[in-house]
Amino acid sequence: MYKFGELKDERIAQEIKKGLEPQNIEVIVSNDNHAEVYELFVTEKYHLPIAFDFYRVKLGFPPEHEVDPKWAKMSKVPLGIATKIFIIVSVVVFFLTNIMKNYDVLLFFYISDSNEHLDLIFSSGQWWRLITPSFLHFGFLHIVFNLMWLKTLGSIFEEVYKTKKFLIFFLVSAALSNILQFYVTGFKFGGMSGFVYALLGFIWVYPKLDKDFEYSLPKNDAMLMIFWFFLCFSGLIGNIANTAHGVGLGVGILWALFQAKATSYTTLIKWSSMAIFFSLGTFLIEYFQVFRMLKNIL
């Protein structure tokens, strides 16, 4: 057990215990008769910051920590085996291609060697190219941003659905997002963001469909996800694989719908439409260069 406070008033101690129950934080109140105080303990170490903040606020002090309990819970999930391997491969490939400037590795991981066709995959049988662009990153912030999300969200998916389903989810979302991105920009693209957005889409939507699912994306993070998507889509921060983002997000939403035990027609239509909007909508806008056309017209 981990102590986070003590009080002489048993009533307040019990109020703190009850106040933390909705956040799934188990609190034990222990009475030390010798010292005439009630000590407060949590059973999980990662609950300490949240419990201590609640304790301080109850005593009239301002909170020291502003960690969302949902995010605190998600961030403590053990790193999955496949998730760890993905992170290691991404870092090694980044080192070889960005630091060592090994262009042979770069060409090996690209989806193709031509902007016109995918013959390396469909004629030569190099099927690994459907997913290898996901392990390419072209800047420090690019890889850090993607792997931070992958570490948390990938571990959650792998923890709940195990490594086999995690890999299937990755293969589907990565392959679809990479293929459609190719038809928009050609072969020179990469990044784990297609899969990351698939994970975001799933963990954003699935808790709304299954109330027993113990993890959920905090509202602020969901808003950040959507804001970042449209910011990238606007073109204000350079060339981004927007189609991969949109397709990955759509796959994640659809995966949540299929995973749900029971879904009403209204819910099905609502989220299916959202998935189509993000995936097919992004692809068509990018493919036909709608923004560029509008800019030329105006």
Active site residues: 193, 245
Cβ atoms of residues 109 and 136 within 8 Å = yes
Q: Say how far residue 1 (Cα) sits from the centre of its chain.
A: 31
Q: Say how far residue 160 (Cα) sits from the centre of its chain.
A: 14
Q: In terms of Cα–Cα distance, which of 136, 232, 242, 249 is closest to 195?
A: 249
Q: What gap in Å lies between CA 277 and CA 280, rounded to an integer?
A: 6
Residue 96 is given by DSSP the state I
How many CB atoms sit inside 10 A of residue 69's CB?
17
Edge-to-edge strand order for the sheet containing 27-32? 2-7, 37-42, 27-32
Antiparallel, parallel or unpaired: β 37-42 and 2-7: antiparallel
Q: DSSP string of 128-183?
A: GGGTGGGG---SHHHHHHHHHHIIIIIHHHHHHHHHHHHHHHHHHHHHHHHHHHHH
Q: What gap in Å lies between CA 199 and CA 249, rounded to an integer?
A: 8
Q: Which two tokens stand for residue 75?
A: 């961030």
Q: What gap in Å lies between CA 224 and CA 146, rounded to an integer?
A: 14
Cα 226 to Cα 215, 220, 229, distances in angstroms: 19, 10, 5
